[in-house]
Structure 1
């Protein structure tokens, strides 16, 4: 699951970067191409402008009876200047003298062109003004304007305008081809990324599955061959598992040695005190050594369980343990006609040692049978809390006895506390269950049972 999550995050991240880079590159290329088309269009306008000025600067031929404006149109070499409202226009307007003189292309018809000077457009380094304007019929035009001094013939303002739709259409066509090309490139890169992520992270997924198998008790080590980049991780993980098992074995050995080392002196003390059993001092020694034995047994057991609880991969079937406890307790309490009902789903498992589960569940069932009138129920539930990685095992033991008040529940959970001395036991049962459950990351909760007595709910790690 984690490997899949990592693969998903890597794929999303790589895809996002690919798309972002392609989008930025596409915008940059589109902008560059638009400027390139615009510069080519401006060169075309400037060519027509220079041709227009050159025609206007030629002296009139007395023998030529044709209109000079017609000659100018012909010399520009663009038929669209003759087509009315075609989007291509030129104009020569005299700006000095008392009598205005305006010559214009036939395409301009009766319309006029705005002056860039009046629009606040400044001359550039080439001595012309360039801008986009709205022309006749609300056409979008690219216009170039240049002031011209023809000497004796006067000063003029030469203007040439072209249909900017050509620029837009050229750019849009390029953008379409660019979008199709980049879309195909994106699909190719995404498929390549999927391939790399899927097969590149396959060894990590194998390690994740192997670790899950180790935690569930189906394997003891990471097996198989891994790539050179992953092999050190697999070796170190196996070394860690081996070291963990070695530590557990040493802990068990030390606990056993300590138990023997303590029990022998205690036995000597008890034997010596038993010789003088009638004396007050001997009675006190025997009383305290009995307490010492209980405490030593409790803490040694806790140390032993703590060592086992750190072992990875230990799994116990719950149903056989519960059924065996129920049969045993029914035999022990057969003179009381005790009924023990069990409800354990098939396949329910406890992540821990079998003898620890037997000790915890056995204490709870034994305690319920001591106080029950005739009935004890044992229910096992396997649940997965919202957002939790591992499932939870709940063992619920109910009896139909007198039950306990909230204050009494808190008291009996403490070590060595007993409410009724007439019942057999040391008072350590529930305390031992609580300690062992905490070592496995669980807990014990006491409450009221629906059948009238005490409910003991044991929460442990499941699988």
Structure 2
């Protein structure tokens, strides 16, 4: 059952309990009905038994009229399944039996180990003539000087079994119908009862994907505290992110101001080797501080839940900006963007990553740069949609070793090109924080291809 939904587990658990309860109840009711049927049958047999004992105790009637008061025609029908038998157990050893018994004899319950009840009778089942199942009641009678007798009455037990079988049949049908009704009721209750949890799950998914900012709507009183606490958690997360941004900005200002003073003082004494060295290291410190502050700023921003950016407008704005920046090189930038593509993150982060890639491509391109944006479905179950941004240029391209080098922070292949060497490393770091990646390869138009993969929606 691992990995199954809560609704499935509740339904299976309820089904198991319903089946167990119905089975136990059915067995108990069947047993109670069997006992009740046997008791009713035994009362009938006991009535005949007492009548026979009365006949034995008053033998004054003529033989042809004896035992006529039973009033049961089946005792006259041969091998009908209804029999009586009177056996004298003293020295005379006489036997009288119903006409239905024909020339057969009833087995003695005493011989099969049946014990006397407190009422002085024995009860049990035996095999009668013609292999019939008989329910027998017998009683020893001591009339003193008139003799000792064993009086037995047997009835066809198929009446008991047929009654029980019919009851079990109707009981099974009734319980089957009741079980189906209970299971349908359980399905309805599970679906209806868990519907608010499903709404909360869908609302949280909307928040993560950026379609909503909070859990909205009315929830049952049992679920409302969960919705309130979830909204409070989202608000607390945003407050933490905002505080982190403020601290990062304050730290940037506190560090950059002293560095600017150092750079200005060292620039005034460039003829001094010591001042030149200080100026060189100050520039390195400034780049390093800018890089790590940028990482801290990005990490804080990535934790915001529910931010979504339209990709096509951002890329189009980036194209216009880059064409203006690099118009002296006459580089043509072609864009092919899926209008449905969306980035699960902030626009300024998308612009920073794509901007670094496009700016780098424009610096190295001979005449053209191509930007393609694709929205891709989940590659595997459990993964989300992906956004793929491909930037190609027709420059000289890079070897495998050069590709590995330019991805490291501060590494530049050509010092004549402007920049600090931090662009691609920032893209790699930022993409990694979003759960994405950057891959460099060969472009079909002859230069370098940069493939940026990011979470989509």
User: If the length of structure 2 is used for normalisation, what is the TM-score?
Assistant: 0.82
For residue 148 of structure 1, report the CA deviation from its aligned partner: 4.2
Structure 2 partner of 1:253: 246
Pick aligned residue for 1:271 from 264, 275, 300:
264
Give the secondary-structure state (helix, strand or coil) at the position aligned to 1:144.
strand
1:414 aligns with 2:408: yes
Question: Would you say how many aligned residue pairs link Structure 1 and Structure 2?
Answer: 451
For residue 78 of structure 1, report the CA deviation from its aligned partner: 2.2
Give the secondary-structure state (helix, strand or coil) at the position aligned to 1:75.
coil
Cα distance between partner residues in 1 of 2:382 and 2:15: 30
- 1:131-150 to structure 2, matched below 5 A, reads 131-150=124-143
Mean Cα displacement is larger for which, 274-283 or 330-339? 330-339
Per-residue Cα deviation, 1:291-313 (whole angstroms, up to 9, x for no partner)? 11111111111121122212222
Summarize the Cα distance change of 1:285–1:180 in structure 2 as closer, same or farther, 3 Å threshold. same
1:426 aligns with 2:420: yes
Per-residue Cα deviation, 1:177-203 (whole angstroms, up to 9, x for no partner)? 444544554455455545554554454
For residue 356 of structure 1, report the CA deviation from its aligned partner: 0.6
Summarize the Cα distance change of 1:375–1:112 in structure 2 as closer, same or farther, 3 Å threshold. farther
1:89 aligns with 2:83: yes
Summarize the Cα distance change of 1:412–1:24 in structure 2 as closer, same or farther, 3 Å threshold. farther
Asked if structure 2 preserves the Cα contact closer than 8 Å seen for 1:53 and 1:158, the reply is yes
Per-residue Cα deviation, 1:42-81 (whole angstroms, up to 9, x for no partner)? 23223333333333344365xx242xxx733x33332222
Pick aligned residue for 1:289 from 282, 289, 296:
282
Structure 2 partner of 1:27: 27
Per-residue Cα deviation, 1:221-264 (whole angstroms, up to 9, x for no partner)? 33344444444333333333332222222222221111111111
Summarize the Cα distance change of 1:335–1:412 in structure 2 as closer, same or farther, 3 Å threshold. closer
1:39 aligns with 2:61: no
For residue 314 of structure 1, report the CA deviation from its aligned partner: 1.1
1:164 aligns with 2:151: no
For residue 160 of structure 1, report the CA deviation from its aligned partner: 2.4
Note the aligned Cα RMSD (angstroms). 3.6
Unaligned 5+ segments in structure 1 are none
Asked if structure 2 preserves the Cα contact closer than 8 Å seen for 1:333 and 1:369, the reply is no
Mean Cα displacement is larger for which, 448-457 or 176-185? 448-457
Give the secondary-structure state (helix, strand or coil) at the position aligned to 2:45.
helix
Asked if structure 2 preserves the Cα contact closer than 8 Å seen for 1:318 and 1:350, the reply is yes
Structure 2 partner of 1:381: 375
Asked if structure 2 preserves the Cα contact closer than 8 Å seen for 1:404 and 1:453, the reply is no
Mean Cα displacement is larger for which, 107-116 or 179-188? 179-188
Give the secondary-structure state (helix, strand or coil) at the position aligned to 2:275.
helix
For residue 386 of structure 1, report the CA deviation from its aligned partner: 4.0
Unaligned 5+ segments in structure 2 are none
Asked if structure 2 preserves the Cα contact closer than 8 Å seen for 1:393 and 1:459, the reply is yes
Per-residue Cα deviation, 1:327-383 (whole angstroms, up to 9, x for no partner)? 6556738957667463x4332211110111122233334445556676646342322
Structure 2 partner of 1:321: 314
Cα distance between partner residues in 2 of 1:156 and 1:186: 54
Summarize the Cα distance change of 1:298–1:44 in structure 2 as closer, same or farther, 3 Å threshold. same
Mean Cα displacement is larger for which, 212-221 or 300-309? 212-221
- 1:16-415 to structure 2, matched below 5 A, reads 16-59=16-59, 64-66=62-64, 71-72=66-67, 74-95=68-89, 97=91, 101-152=94-145, 155-183=148-176, 185-186=178-179, 189-190=182-183, 192-193=185-186, 196-326=189-319, 332=326, 335=329, 340=334, 342=336, 344-368=337-361, 376=370, 378-388=372-382, 390-397=384-391, 402-405=397-400, 410-415=404-409
Asked if structure 2 preserves the Cα contact closer than 8 Å seen for 1:404 and 1:454, the reply is no
Give the secondary-structure state (helix, strand or coil) at the position aligned to 1:159.
strand
Asked if structure 2 preserves the Cα contact closer than 8 Å seen for 1:445 and 1:457, the reply is yes
For residue 268 of structure 1, report the CA deviation from its aligned partner: 0.5
User: If the length of structure 1 is used for normalisation, what is the TM-score?
Assistant: 0.81
Asked if structure 2 preserves the Cα contact closer than 8 Å seen for 1:377 and 1:399, the reply is no
Asked if structure 1 preserves the Cα contact closer than 8 Å seen for 2:375 and 2:456, the reply is no
Summarize the Cα distance change of 1:452–1:156 in structure 2 as closer, same or farther, 3 Å threshold. farther
Give the secondary-structure state (helix, strand or coil) at the position aligned to 2:204.
helix
